[in-house]
Structure 1
Amino acid sequence: MVGLTGRVTGRVGAGLVGEVLIQVPERQGAEAFLAHLAVPGEPLAPGTRVVVLEYQPPRTVYVAPAYG
C-alpha cells in the first residue's frame, strides 16, 4: 500500500477522518480507505491526488498530497 496513489473522496484534515479511493493493482480495482493526514497541514479537499505514506490494516492509510 505504501507508495500507491489515489484521490480524496471525503475531506481529510486535522481531527478529521476522511476517505480516499486507491487503485490496488493486486486486486485489479479501486478500494476506499479511511484516511488521515500523514503530516500536519492544510485539509485535503475531494479530488486531491494523494500518496500513501503509512498503512494500518485493514482499511486505514496516512496520506500526503502527491505532487507532479
Structure 2
Amino acid sequence: MGETDADMVGMTGRVTGTVGPGLVGEVIVRIRGGAEHFLAHPAPGEGLLTVGTLVTVVEHLPPRTVYVMAAYPAG
C-alpha cells in the first residue's frame, strides 16, 4: 500500500519554482517510488524560498498542493 496524504507531512523536497508570500511556487518531492511536482505555498511566517532550497512539507492539500518551510534555518 502506498503513502497516504498524511504521510507527506515531514517529507523533504526541493524548490523548483520560487515559493513565497503571495506566490504559488513548485517543489519536487520523492514519493511513491519516484519524484513528483507539487504546487507550493510557504508555511505561515515563512519568507521567500528560492530555487534549490531544501524544504520540509508541513501540510498537504490533495491532490497536488503543499505548504512548505525551509528544512534548515537561514544563517
Normalised TM-score (structure 2): 0.83
* C-alpha distance in 1 between matches for 2:53 and 2:28: 11
- 1:13 maps onto 2:20 in alignment: yes
Residue identity opposite 1:9 in structure 2: T
- 1:28 maps onto 2:52 in alignment: no
Structure 1 gaps of 5+ residues are none
**Identity fraction in percent:** 62
The answer on whether the counterparts of 2:15 and 2:26 sit within 8 Å (CA) in structure 1 is yes
Question: Which protein is bigger by CA-based radius of gyration?
Answer: 2
Give the alignment of 1:1-68 within 5 angstroms: 1-24=8-31, 27-67=32-72
Structure 2 gaps of 5+ residues are 1-7
Residue identity opposite 1:39 in structure 2: P
Normalised TM-score (structure 1): 0.91
Residue identity opposite 1:11 in structure 2: T
Which is richer in strand? Answer: 1
* C-alpha distance in 2 between matches for 1:59 and 1:41: 20
Residue identity opposite 1:23 in structure 2: R
After superposition, the CA RMSD in angstroms is: 1.2
Runs of 4+ in 1 over 4 A off after TM superposition: none
Residue identity opposite 2:15 in structure 1: V
